[in-house]
């Protein structure tokens, strides 16, 4: 007799939502735990024990995909306004536009009115701006996997972008590779919960969350880095690890869901046809192969994992500054390509403190890192060009 999915430990579920989408009785819904992380909950009065939810789960060994050795590039869009609004080189928008131009649909993470991130479907180029930019929080996939299946059945092209576990979930749900589906995963080190983010926004805005809009974790008016901003009552407020305990602990890798420390998708397990990340520390040799690109406006690290990914990238190449690189170089400044994040000892204390005492646990812990804040604040003040030169100099000395 088959049974419904039973999660033994939090580290075994990434919250991708494939089980919710596959259930023929709509018996599964996502529920928040005490830290705000979402997990599936089965309504046993509706369940017919078909076992589909357990079979589709991406955190089981059997469904782990491997695409073989990728081709690696450094790339940036030639469109300056797209580049400015994108977290790295704006390659996502170029791929998405190509799919829309063929009458397709694009799925990705957008902000909701209540300060959460959720996957939505976009069918118009002008709407793509909702998906641009990294939202450093877990995005809910809702019923988007079902929507994708319907669109593919109608013969439409679809681009679905998200974290590797979301792409793995979608692929497991769809069941077979489909020529019409282009998947793009981001290089991902982990996601905190929506509850944590909302608590932080309340903290940094002095309780005026209802006035907050236009959250950007990466605002390029401050250069290519980890300075962000939001609008509060129409005024732009800087948002970074110097004022936000959440952003500070996010960058330190302390506040992710447990599955992120047990992630199955770094290294060989890339899930997207194309993987997108920041080409941090991009070297002068590469930049010189990219024409007139401004390296301080953001460059993407692009991994092409499949033949399909190759074709789509070739279709937009004319709109990019692009140069070949290699996996070893890309991995050097992006550990997420080789291994999951490692929880530091503070992770457990912080999480338990948050569950017991609420957001005070973040602010109390944060104050103890005074030295780190000074260092980060100074680092954030250094223009990206100067930072790049310092990094190049250090790499030269290291040989
Ligand atoms: C949670 C998270 C962690 C990341 N960690 C790293 C890292 O450690 N190293 C690294 O090099 N790059 C990381 N990235 C990727 C990087 O920040 C850029 O998103 C990526 O380089 C694509 O940039 P772009 O300029 O092409 O497009 P952008 O327009 O900046 O990217 C938008 C794309 O990101 C997707 N996206 C945004 N937020 C989310 C979310 N919450 N969940 C799922 N998908 C989302 C959108 O659907 C869209 O496809 C991370 C991204 C996210 C969302
Ligand atoms: S076993 Fe079948 S009916 Fe029950 S929750 Fe899972 S998918 Fe739904
Ligand atoms: S990993 Fe995805 S499919 Fe598996 S239980 Fe969690 S939400 Fe469901
Ligand atoms: S680190 Fe892994 S498990 Fe966590 S959100 Fe990213 S892909 Fe999913």
Structure tokens at 98: 């190509």
Query: Per-residue pLDDT for 96 more than 70?
Result: yes
pLDDT of res. 336:
85
SS3 21: helix
What percentage of the chain reaches a pLDDT higher than 90? Answer: 73
| Cα gap 230→238, rounded to integer Å | 7
Distance 185 CA to ligand 1 centre (A): 8
Domain residue limits, the chain: 10-63, 66-399
Question: Which residue is associated with the tokens 């070739």?
Answer: 314
Query: Per-residue pLDDT for 61 more than 70?
Result: no
Query: Per-residue pLDDT for 74 more than 80?
Result: yes
| For range 275-280, the mean pLDDT | 94
Strand order, beta sheet including 212-216: 212-216, 228-232, 235-239
Distance 22 CA to ligand 2 centre (A): 8
Neighbours of 158 (CB within 10 A): 24
Distance 319 CA to ligand 4 centre (A): 30
Query: Per-residue pLDDT for 337 more than 60?
Result: yes
Query: Per-residue pLDDT for 162 more than 70?
Result: yes
Query: Per-residue pLDDT for 64 more than 60?
Result: no
Distance 189 CA to ligand 2 centre (A): 31
CA distances, 286 to each of 127, 146, 153, 234, 283 (Å): 33, 41, 42, 40, 6
Nearest to 359 by CA among 240, 199, 228, 232: 199
User: Of all atoms in ligand 2, which is nearest to the CA of residue 46?
Assistant: 3
- Closest-lying ligand to the alpha carbon of 187? 1
Distance 158 CA to ligand 3 centre (A): 22
Which of 83-97, 113-127, 223-237 shows the lowest per-residue confidence on average (mean pLDDT)? 223-237
| For range 170-188, the mean pLDDT | 95
| Cα gap 349→34, rounded to integer Å | 15
| For range 135-158, the mean pLDDT | 98
Strand order, beta sheet including 300-304: 139-140, 117-122, 105-111, 158-162, 181-186, 274-278, 300-304, 71-77, 320-325
Distance 155 CA to ligand 4 centre (A): 30
Q: Considering only CA atoms, which residue is closest to atom 8 of ligand 3?
A: 19
Q: Considering only CA atoms, which residue is closest to atom 3 of ligand 2?
A: 47
165 CB less than 6 Å from ligand 4? Answer: yes
77 CB less than 6 Å from ligand 1? Answer: no
User: Of all atoms in ligand 2, which is nearest to the CA of residue 42?
Assistant: 5
72 CB less than 6 Å from ligand 3? Answer: no
- For the 10-63 domain, the top CATH level (class) is alpha beta
Distance 357 CA to ligand 1 centre (A): 31
Structure tokens at 45: 């009065």
13 CB less than 6 Å from ligand 3? Answer: yes
87 CB less than 6 Å from ligand 1? Answer: yes
SS3 238: strand
Alpha helices, H only, the chain: 18-22, 52-56, 80-85, 91-101, 144-153, 164-174, 194-204, 245-252, 284-288, 307-316, 327-332, 346-357, 360-367, 370-381, 384-398
Q: What is the DSSP letter of 138?
A: P
118 CB less than 6 Å from ligand 2? Answer: no
What's the pLDDT band for 397 if we cut at 50, 70, 90? Answer: confident
Q: Considering only CA atoms, which residue is closest to atom 15 of ligand 1?
A: 277
pLDDT tens track for 340-388: 999 988 899 999 999 999 999 999 988 887 777 677 777 767 776 777 7
Q: Considering only CA atoms, which residue is closest to atom 6 of ligand 3?
A: 13
169 CB less than 6 Å from ligand 3? Answer: yes
Neighbours of 175 (CB within 10 A): 10
| Cα gap 119→111, rounded to integer Å | 9
User: Of all atoms in ligand 3, which is nearest to the CA of residue 15?
Assistant: 7
56 CB less than 6 Å from ligand 2? Answer: no
Query: Per-residue pLDDT for 68 more than 80?
Result: no
CA distances, 126 to each of 76, 94, 162, 334, 376 (Å): 20, 13, 20, 32, 36
Neighbours of 236 (CB within 10 A): 13
pLDDT of res. 390:
76
Q: Considering only CA atoms, which residue is closest to atom 3 of ligand 4?
A: 260
117 CB less than 6 Å from ligand 1? Answer: yes
Please provide the average confidence, as pLDDT, over all residues in the chain. 91
Q: What is the DSSP letter of 128?
A: G
Q: Considering only CA atoms, which residue is closest to atom 1 of ligand 3?
A: 13
What's the pLDDT band for 62 if we cut at 50, 70, 90? Answer: low
């Amino acid at each position: 007799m088959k049974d419904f999915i039973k999660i033994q430990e939090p580290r075994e579920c990434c919250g991708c939502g494939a089980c919710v989408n596959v259930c023929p009785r709509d018996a599964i819904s996502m529920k928040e735990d005490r830290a705000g992380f979402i997990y599936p909950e089965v309504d046993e009065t509706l369940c017919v024990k078909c076992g589909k939810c357990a079979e589709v789960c991406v955190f089981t060994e059997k469904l782990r995909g491997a695409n073989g050795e990728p081709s690696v590039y450094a790339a940036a869009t030639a469109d300056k306004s797209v580049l400015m609004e994108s977290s790295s080189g704006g390659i996502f928008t170029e791929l998405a536009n190509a799919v829309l131009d063929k009458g397709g649909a694009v799925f990705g993470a957008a902000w909701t009115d209540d300060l959460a991130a959720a996957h939505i479907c976009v069918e118009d180029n002008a709407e793509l701006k909702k998906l641009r930019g990294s939202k450093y929080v877990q995005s809910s996939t809702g019923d988007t996997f079902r929507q994708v299946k319907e669109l593919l059945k109608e013969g439409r092209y679809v681009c679905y972008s998200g974290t590797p576990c979301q792409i793995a979930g979608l692929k497991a749900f769809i069941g077979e590779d489909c020529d019409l589906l282009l998947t793009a995963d981001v290089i991902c080190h982990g996601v905190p919960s929506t509850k944590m983010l909302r608590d932080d926004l309340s903290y940094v805005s002095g309780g005026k969350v209802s006035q907050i809009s236009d959250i950007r974790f990466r605002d390029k008016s401050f250069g290519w880095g980890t300075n962000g901003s939001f609008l509060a009552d129409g005024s732009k407020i800087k948002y970074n690890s110097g004022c936000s305990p959440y952003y500070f602990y996010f960058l330190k890798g302390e506040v992710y869901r447990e599955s992120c420390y047990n992630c199955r998708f770094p290294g060989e397990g890339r899930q997207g046809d194309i993987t997108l990340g920041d080409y941090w520390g991009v070297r002068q040799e590469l930049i010189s192969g990219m024409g007139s690109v401004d390296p301080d406006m953001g460059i993407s690290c692009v991994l092409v994992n499949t033949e399909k990914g190759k074709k789509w990238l070739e279709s937009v190449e004319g709109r990019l500054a692009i140069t070949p690189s290699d996996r070893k170089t890309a991995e050097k400044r992006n550990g997420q390509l080789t291994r999951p994040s490692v929880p530091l000892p503070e992770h457990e204390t912080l999480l338990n403190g948050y569950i017991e005492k609420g957001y005070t646990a973040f602010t109390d812990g944060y104050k103890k890192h005074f030295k780190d804040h000074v260092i980060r604040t100074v680092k954030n003040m250094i223009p990206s060009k100067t930072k790049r030169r310092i990094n190049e100099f250090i790499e030269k000395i290291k040989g």
